[in-house]
Chain A
Amino acid sequence: MGIGEFRVAKAPERLGAYGLGSCIVVVLWDPLGSGWGGLAHCMLPAAPEWERGKTTAKYCDLGIPALHSALAEAVGRPGPFTARLVGGATMFRFPDLVRRSPSLGERNAEASRAALEKLGLVPAGEECGGERGRSVEFDPGDGVVAVRSAPRGLRLM
């Protein structure tokens, strides 16, 4: 799923997002066995004024409630749902810049936690921050969220 997309799916379908740097993925899952879950791929913490009212997961503050509504509709009840967060890395650290702290990735993670809290949710699992990129796959059947980073450094032979 690309940046700004969100989707719900039922097992055996799986959802995934690849190449997360500062972006954040929010996974919501129904733990009561319906086999439904959803994933949103967010890029920025908060929607600017001219984007408000749009249905997009580009922004954490819009994407997370949109994903939650879509899942509630699919399952036929408003919860309980399990939330997980992945991403929000800081790929580039400038040694001399104060204004990049907190980084965009860190702000995305914080905005996602805040958006979840508004929905009465606390992340049951987080794989956030750090300096490494990630890819994520989610199986709504068993609820497992698999996170992968680059397998190796550079090898020259």
Chain B
Amino acid sequence: MRQPGGPELGELEMDALREAGNLGSGRAATALSTLLGGPVSMDVPRAEIVDLAELAERLGSPEEMAAAVYFEVRGASPGRIVLLMDEGSVGHVLRRILGPAPEQDAAGGALSPGARSTLKEVGNIVCGSYVSSLAEWVGLTLTISVPALAFDMAACLIQSVAAEAAEDVGTALLLESRFRFDGQAVAIRLLFLPEAGSLEVLLSGMAKSTGVDPRGRRG
């Protein structure tokens, strides 16, 4: 592990990351429309850098169930990306794709194979759209791994993600957005967790493509 002390992000860098989020959201909405069989619109995401130690407390109620689809980001700026959906949103998506009452494993905690592959596909679409938009934005090659899926207490999922990122001395960028279909809003949270050094690579790529020089903006 390296000593912490990543770059400070100024408003211009945050705007650039938000812009990549916007592009990714637009792309994800188009792809989700095909999966869900109807028009999907997506709000402009809210983006912020969050403290890894505070992440679980801030996002995860221990009693709330949530689904998390977790990917490794590979390439010039490796890290992780995680799609989080609360139980209500998961239910809404699954009902839409699998029918009114998809069969669930009564043993607890487990989702049916159909539900699992559906959620992984939603994760692939949303996270893949975001990562490919970001890659284009900064002029780097980034790909995502196959997904790992878990459905459990939200706090446990977020804690595990945050701990792995903390071990890599990474940073957490939280994007919160909502997509709407069938007149209902489905809230999604996207956590992008660049490893130590990755954010600097992204920012210098961004500087080249947008003219923002991150080195002039460290605090």
Q: Is the CB of B160 within 8 A of A22?
A: yes
Q: Is the CB of B167 within 8 A of A94?
A: no
Q: Give the distance in Å from the alpha carbon of A149 to the alpha carbon of B101 in the complex.
A: 24
What mask results when residues 98 to 124 of chain B are scored 1 for a CB within 8 Å of chain A, else 0? 001110111111110001000000000
Residue from B95, B108, B148, B161 within 8 A of A152 (CB atoms): B108
In the assembled complex, how far is the CB of residue A156 from the closest CB belonging to chain B, in whole angstroms? 5
A86 contacts the other chain (Cβ, under 8 Å)?
Answer: no
Residue from B72, B90, B105, B156 within 8 A of A91 (CB atoms): B156
Q: Give the distance in Å from the alpha carbon of A135 to the alpha carbon of B3 in the complex.
A: 31
Residue from B101, B105, B156, B167 within 8 A of A20 (CB atoms): B156
In the assembled complex, how far is the CB of residue A19 from the closest CB belonging to chain B, in whole angstroms? 2
Contacts of B111 in A (CB 8 A): 153-154
Q: Is the CB of B148 within 8 A of A92?
A: yes
User: Which of A23, A105, A153 has the most C-beta atoms of chain B within 10 angstroms of its own C-beta?
Assistant: A153
Contacts of B102 in A (CB 8 A): 156
Contacts of B159 in A (CB 8 A): 3, 19-23, 43, 133
- Give A149's nearest chain B residue, CB to CB: B109
Q: Give the distance in Å from the alpha carbon of A21 to the alpha carbon of B153 in the complex.
A: 9
Q: Is the CB of B65 within 8 A of A154?
A: yes
Contacts of A153 in B (CB 8 A): 104-111, 151
In the assembled complex, how far is the CB of residue A64 from the closest CB belonging to chain B, in whole angstroms? 17
Contacts of A77 in B (CB 8 A): none
Would you list which residues of chain B between 124 and 183 have a CB under 8 Å from chain A?
145-146, 148-161, 163-164, 166-167
With contact pairs A94-B148, A154-B104 given, residues A134 and B87 touching in the complex (Cβ less than 8 Å)? no
Q: Is the CB of B148 within 8 A of A133?
A: no
Would you list which residues of chain A between 31 and 75 have a CB under 8 Å from chain B?
43-44, 48, 50, 58
Contacts of A3 in B (CB 8 A): 53, 56-57, 159, 163
Contacts of A79 in B (CB 8 A): none
Contacts of A132 in B (CB 8 A): 109, 152, 156
Residues of B within 8 A of A (CB-CB), count: 49
With contact pairs A95-B146, A153-B109, A157-B101 given, residues A133 and B156 touching in the complex (Cβ less than 8 Å)? yes
Would you list which residues of chain A between 74 and 113 have a CB under 8 Å from chain B?
89, 91-97, 104-105
Q: Give the distance in Å from the alpha carbon of A108 to the alpha carbon of B70 in the complex.
A: 20
What mask results when residues 135 to 157 of chain A are scored 1 for a CB within 8 Å of chain B, else 0? 10000000000000111111111
A127 contacts the other chain (Cβ, under 8 Å)?
Answer: no
Q: By DSSP majority rule, is chain A's interface helix, strand, loop, or mixed?
A: loop
Q: Is the CB of A150 within 8 A of B163?
A: no
Q: Give the distance in Å from the alpha carbon of A21 to the alpha carbon of B167 in the complex.
A: 15
Residue from B3, B104, B160, B161 within 8 A of A105 (CB atoms): B160
Q: Is the CB of A150 within 8 A of B104?
A: no
- Give A18's nearest chain B residue, CB to CB: B62
With contact pairs A19-B155, A20-B156, A154-B90 given, residues A44 and B108 touching in the complex (Cβ less than 8 Å)? no
Q: Give the distance in Å from the alpha carbon of A19 to the alpha carbon of B105 in the complex.
A: 23
Contacts of B160 in A (CB 8 A): 21-23, 89, 91-92, 104-105, 133
Task: List 8 extra interface pairs beyond A44-B163, A91-B156, CB under 8 A.
Answer: A2-B57, A19-B56, A19-B155, A20-B156, A23-B159, A43-B163, A151-B108, A153-B105
6 cross-chain pairs, A with B, having the tightest CB-CB distances, nearest first? A19-B155, A133-B156, A21-B160, A18-B62, A92-B148, A21-B156
- Show 5 residue pairs from A and B whose CB-CB distance is below 8 angstroms, ordered by the A residue: A19-B159, A92-B160, A95-B146, A150-B153, A153-B110
